[in-house]
Structure 1
Amino acid sequence: MPIFEKYIDELIEKSTLDVPAWNIEKAREGKAAGWNYIDGCMILALLEIYNATGEKKYYEFADAFIDHRVQEDGTITKYSVEEYNIDNVNAGKTLFALYALNGKEKYRKAIDLIYSQVETQPRTEEGNFWHKKIYPNQVWLDGMYMGQPFYMEYETKFDDKKHYDDIFHQFANVVKYMRDPKTGLYYHGYDASKKAFWCNKETGLSQNFWLRALGWYSMALLDTLSKCEPGEEYKAEYDNLKKVFVDLIDSMLKFQDESGMWYQLPALG
């Protein structure tokens, strides 16, 4: 057995549907995990492992975990649209995968519920989603990962690509406002109002480049591209987003340590 499967199997064995072992903060508190981006990442990973190996135990745990939270009417335990937390959209990606595998109608309803958040999420004056209702006018790189691939998959599968332009526009704004032309790296946060305590009062940008945020953003680009079916109509926008991804990776490589790793602050802002 590959070592990563052994590790994943151990995590599953130590987990319950309410307290997954990988969500260490909730596990230590002994609290039910609810609906959050951490579990969304892990359950989606289990489904990817299932696709790669055909081992049903990964699918069965993933399905049981999400089924435990989604009610028959599509409502989701401990999820609120009105919280307007873009992080909580991330776990919705699991619903597309599971619905394709088993066709549970409640998963389709839950997808629509989360999409209703996307439809009404507050936005900056430039048109980007706020990261959270409690963080008005703020765009974070990790929020692009949490929301845009879900948005793109919904538009591709269920909405006849009606809002592709909006998705491409939001990425274009990140390039315009958050990319540093000197390094090719992106600042973690942007406050369109320029009022946040952490931002530069002239640019609205955070003070540093953050490795984890750059990782989220690179995957946001890749995952959104993978869910897009551009056809001829959106070929130019699709190709441009591919170029944004390649440029980011090329820029990141310039700051790679000789060990092959990166520092948490890859470069000084």
Structure 2
Amino acid sequence: MAKSRAIHAYEDIIAKLIRQMKELKPMFQEKVAIGIVSMENWEWPQGVGLFALYSYYKETGKREIRDELIQWFDRRIAEGLPEKNVNTMCPMLTLSYLAEETGNPQYLELCQEWVTYVMEEMPRTVEGGLQHVVTRNLNQGQLWDDTLYMTVLFVARMGELLDNDIYTQESIRQFMIHLKYLTDVKTGLFFHGWTFIGHHHFAQALWARGNSWYTAGLVDYLEIASLPAGVSQFLISSLERQVHTLSLLQHESGLWHTLLDKPDSYLETSASSAFAYGILKAVRQGFLDPKYKAVGLKALEGVKQKIDADGIVHGVSYGTGLKGDLDYYRNIKQCPMPYGQSMALLLMVEACKIEA
């Protein structure tokens, strides 16, 4: 009863967030290979949105959400799926859950096909890291923090679904190698990317959304995968150090700057939502000290101020590549995006749990 009352308190805003996510249209001419605004495309922003919708369905039991997800995948499969890469892998995480729930053999076959590609064909960097290959760009020798959320969560999920420890161990290896090369040892935050060609962190950007993929992704990864205690303890300690620094850099509004350590960069809502979601969930699950709950709640209030009466999340930066110039990050356009809507959705559902 307590949980249902808490969900009810956010029901109106959640319904609006979902409706607007489904109806988003580009506000300008997109230059990317596959559109990343409309939910009718298959790319990483849509994948993030799908997983948020599935998580909401699992929390509420609303079968209409599950049915809409099935319809979405059936339409995309009928159209033909895009080429496999790190970013287009993202929707497969949700499909793996639907494959298990529905018993649809086509879904399971696709999941097996795509995880096999990751394991056997996806380009690798030195030390076996997943090279951040995207549509029309190989990004030779590069590790990005985005990869953990977009692909590695799916690999871990397939390890559980198929009871295949090889996949679980691969997911562990990817977390380890990405943390090895992307962690800023001075702050505990993460650089956007690293290249083995030249051996540098490009602009040394402590980019907010890239960092938030770890904060939000790790709490879900710990639910998805059966990890050795030493591994989970290591990953949680990395989260704690990151969140400690985030608490020092949080703006008075509750949000964070798109370059976390650069107050002259704008405040960015999707990363702030993901930070708040990850922090509140980690506190609730006992991964973080309860003192950080105040940080998450402050961010929650800040995010709520960025959601208009129609449910559109504002202050969200468009898709962001890895560049060697900090001004590139400062100048990324802001517009409503599926991941802005979906990270706010995940946050609101987590807020319900906190209140319950």
TM range (shorter): 0.7 to 0.9
Question: For the structure 1 residues 178 and 205, does the alpha-carbon distance in structure 2 shift closer, same or farther, using more than 3 Å as the test?
Answer: farther
Please give the alpha-carbon distance, in whole angstroms, between the structure 1 residues aligned to 2:196 and 2:68. Answer: 41
1:212-245 CA-partner distances (Å, limit 9, x unpaired): 1111122232222221113xxx221222122222
Question: For the structure 1 residues 117 and 219, does the alpha-carbon distance in structure 2 shift closer, same or farther, using more than 3 Å as the test?
Answer: farther
Query: Gapped runs of 5+ residues in structure 1?
Result: 13-19, 195-201
Aligned mate of 2:259, from 262, 265, 268: 265
Aligned mate of 1:69, from 58, 73, 76: 76
Task: Tell me what 2:197 maps to.
Answer: 193
**Structure with the larger RCO, 1 or 2 (CA within 8 Å, 6+ apart):** 2
Please give the alpha-carbon distance, in whole angstroms, between the structure 2 residues aligned to 1:23 and 1:115. Answer: 31
Task: Tell me what 1:17 maps to.
Answer: none
Over aligned residue pairs, what C-alpha RMSD do you find? Answer: 2.7
1:158-178 CA-partner distances (Å, limit 9, x unpaired): 152124333222222222221
Aligned mate of 1:184, from 181, 188, 191: 188
Task: Tell me what 1:199 maps to.
Answer: none
1:161-217 CA-partner distances (Å, limit 9, x unpaired): 1243332222222222211121111110111112xxxxxxx5344332111111112
Task: Tell me what 2:89 maps to.
Answer: 89
Query: Gapped runs of 5+ residues in structure 2?
Result: 1-7, 263-325, 327-356
Q: TM-score, normalised by structure 1?
A: 0.81
| 1:134 has 2:128 as partner | no
Please give the alpha-carbon distance, in whole angstroms, between the structure 2 residues aligned to 1:53 and 1:31. Answer: 25
Question: For the structure 1 residues 188 and 9, does the alpha-carbon distance in structure 2 shift closer, same or farther, using more than 3 Å as the test?
Answer: closer
Amino acid corresponding to residue 128 of structure 1 in structure 2: G
Question: For the structure 1 residues 23 and 54, does the alpha-carbon distance in structure 2 shift closer, same or farther, using more than 3 Å as the test?
Answer: farther
3-state SS of 1:139 partner: strand
Q: How many residues align?
A: 245
Please give the alpha-carbon distance, in whole angstroms, between the structure 2 residues aligned to 1:142 and 1:80. Answer: 18
Q: CA deviation at 1:31?
A: 8.3
3-state SS of 1:184 partner: coil
Please give the alpha-carbon distance, in whole angstroms, between the structure 2 residues aligned to 1:102 and 1:27. Answer: 38
| 1:249 has 2:251 as partner | no
Amino acid corresponding to residue 82 of structure 2 in structure 1: Y
Q: CA deviation at 1:135?
A: 0.9
Please give the alpha-carbon distance, in whole angstroms, between the structure 1 residues aligned to 2:202 and 2:41. Answer: 32
Please give the alpha-carbon distance, in whole angstroms, between the structure 1 residues aligned to 2:16 and 2:112. Answer: 34
Aligned mate of 1:211, from 208, 211, 215: 208
Please give the alpha-carbon distance, in whole angstroms, between the structure 1 residues aligned to 2:27 and 2:107. Answer: 27
Aligned mate of 1:171, from 171, 175, 180: 175
Q: CA deviation at 1:265?
A: 1.0
